[in-house]
Amino acid sequence: MDTSPPTRYTTTAITLHWLVALGILGAFSLGLYMQDLPLSPAKLKLYSYHKWAGVTIFLLVLVRLFWRATHPAPPLPLSMPVWQRRLATSMHHLLYGLAVCIPLSGWLMSSAKGFQTVWFGVLPLPDLVTKDKALGDALADVHQFLNLSMATLVTVHVTAAIRHHLHGSEAILARMLPFLRNKARP
């Protein structure tokens, strides 16, 4: 019986990771694009899609966190220096934190600006704050700052994964990319 620790994430964890990654990339790009558009029906639609995507990503992240809490991640290879392993773990925690806080900040900002979030135009989310221009502007800054942080951390995260894959001796990327498994395994 194989009692060695797993070398890759569970299929569920992998699926959730890539779904959330795609969602974030999409919602982020849409957010960048839509904000400077002149007011039009298209802009209203895009804002709604962005908000629906945000709520969906938020829920997927909650499922991910639950899954992660109940299914431990495969340990990082011992061949990696301790500082790298610590840094990688901290990075993952920060990414999870941002993935939770960014949709929350968007939801609050939307309420403060007087536009309720109605998921897929059907399910209204409560407004946790009332309309308040100053608060809305402040939350817009928070939303933007968190997103720029996310963009920076994702860049580092992706760079680190690719670097490890190309130059490291560890099959790091294969933990999250199952089709690399055979190739990457020694």
Partner 1 sequence: MTRPILAVLAGCLLTASVSAAEVGAILADKSKLTFVSKQMGVPVDGEFRKFTVNMNFDPAKPDAGRAQIDIDMASVDAGAAETNEEVTSKNWFNVKQFPKATFVSSSVKALGGNRFEVAGKLTIRDKTRDVVAPFTMTPQGPNTLFEGVFTLRRGDFGIGQGVWADFDTVANEVQIRFRLLTAAKKG
Summarize as ranges the residues that interact with partner 1 (CB under 8 A): 39-41, 44-45, 47-48, 113-118, 121-122, 124, 131
Retrieve residue 58's tokens. Answer: 């938020």
Q: With respect to partner 1, which residue has the nearer C-beta, 28 or 115?
A: 115
At its nearest, how many Å lie between partner 1 and the CB of residue 28? Answer: 21
At its nearest, how many Å lie between partner 1 and the CB of residue 104? Answer: 18
Q: With respect to partner 1, which residue has the nearer C-beta, 71 or 133?
A: 133
At its nearest, how many Å lie between partner 1 and the CB of residue 93? Answer: 34
Q: Give CA–CA dist 68/62, Å, rounded.
A: 10
Q: With respect to partner 1, which residue has the nearer C-beta, 42 or 63?
A: 42
Retrieve residue 132's tokens. Answer: 């308040």
Q: With respect to partner 1, which residue has the nearer C-beta, 40 or 182?
A: 40
Q: With respect to partner 1, which residue has the nearer C-beta, 16 or 27?
A: 27
At its nearest, how many Å lie between partner 1 and the CB of residue 49? Answer: 9
DSSP 151-166: HHHHHHHHHHHHHHHH
At its nearest, how many Å lie between partner 1 and the CB of residue 120? Answer: 8
**At residue 182, what are phi and psi to the nearest 5 degrees?**
-65, -40
Cβ contact 98:153 at 8 Å = yes
Helix (H, G, I), strand (E, B) or coil at 29: helix
Other residues' Cβ atoms within 10 Å of the Cβ of residue 24: 24
